[in-house]
């Protein structure tokens, strides 16, 4: 069983994925820019230490992100290093319907998929719906407003640990190209999730639906961002809030 390198190993998804891989018996290199116990130090932004981090690695799980356009350069650098190191499997996390939702961030995510697909390295791409924590961050960002603005769209958030488990499963399998998307157990309106969050933090504000003309809301109306069929995830948004992870005001 070859070694597995996890980029972004200290991030929100990287930590539970690293743990899931280790629990499954894999030998894992947790790559980070910052020194720490058990970490492999390398910098995707500059390439420093990357060749050394790749030595004897069979599989790379790419989770590092700046949440911006710099991620394109990270992907290109990682793919080049993976190709040079003859990595046998590059596993990428992406977002459901990046090719349907007309936002620049999503277009960049799709471009990253294309970089991986054209890299010459055998790959797997897993698309997941947005995390529970994203909804909470959007609600918290409005804490000083007299109302809670909720876009008039349906969403299907998923728990980060459940995505981590799926990634750990795929990392132990051969490359598969695009695999089936995964999403959480609930497809509900943003307003419904907002109401659940307000109840969990003991706040009472009017929830203001937001609707705008154009291609973005039309895409969501057509089901973009949702995964049809049986849900992969089990943890509901209310369960997530009850766990204490997202209930702070």
Q: What is the pLDDT of residues 114-146, one digit of tens each?
A: 999 999 999 999 999 999 999 999 999 998 999
pLDDT at 243: 87
The reported pLDDT for the residue numbered 245 is: 66
Alpha-carbon gap, residue 197 to 203, rounded angstroms: 9
Indicate the domain borders of the chain: 3-242
Range scoring the smallest mean pLDDT among 1-5, 53-57, 194-198, 223-227:
1-5
Residue 15: CB atoms within 10 A of its CB come to: 18
Spacing of C-alpha 3 from chain mean position: 22
User: Is residue 11 helix, strand or coil?
Assistant: coil
C-alpha span between 52 and 81 (Å, rounded): 10
Percent of the chain scored above 70 by pLDDT?
A: 98
CATH H-level, domain 3-242: superfamily: NAD(P)-binding Rossmann-like Domain (3.40.50.720)
**Class of residue 179 by CB neighbours under 10 A (exposed 0-12, middle 13-18, buried 19+):** middle
């Amino acid at each position: 069983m070859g070694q597995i390198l996890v980029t972004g190993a200290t991030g929100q998804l990287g930590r539970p994925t690293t743990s899931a891989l280790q629990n499954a018996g894999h030998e894992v290199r947790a790559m980070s820019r910052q020194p720490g116990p058990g970490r492999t130090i390398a910098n995707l932004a500059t390439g420093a230490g990357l060749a050394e981090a790749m030595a004897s690695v069979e599989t790379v799980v790419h989770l590092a992100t700046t949440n911006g356009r710099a991620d394109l350069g990270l992907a290109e650098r990682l793919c080049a290093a993976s190709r040079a190191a003859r990595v046998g499997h590059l596993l990428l996390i992406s977002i459901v319907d990046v090719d349907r939702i007309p936002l620049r961030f999503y277009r960049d995510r799709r471009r990253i998929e294309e970089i991986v697909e054209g890299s010459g390295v055998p790959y797997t791409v897993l698309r997941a719906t947005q995390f529970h924590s994203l909804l909470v961050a959007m609600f918290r960002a409005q804490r000083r407003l007299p109302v809670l603005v909720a876009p008039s769209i349906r969403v299907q958030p998923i728990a980060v640990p459940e995505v981590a488990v799926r990634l750990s499963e795929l990392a132990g399998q051969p490359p598969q190209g695009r695999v089936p998307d995964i999403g959480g157990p609930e497809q509900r309106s943003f307003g419904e999730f907002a109401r659940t969050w307000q109840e969990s933090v003991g706040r009472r504000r009017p929830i203001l639906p937001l609707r705008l003309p154009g291609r973005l809301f039309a895409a969501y109306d057509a089901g973009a961002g949702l995964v049809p069929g049986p849900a992969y995830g089990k943890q509901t948004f209310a369960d997530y809030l009850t766990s204490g992870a997202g209930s702070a005001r």
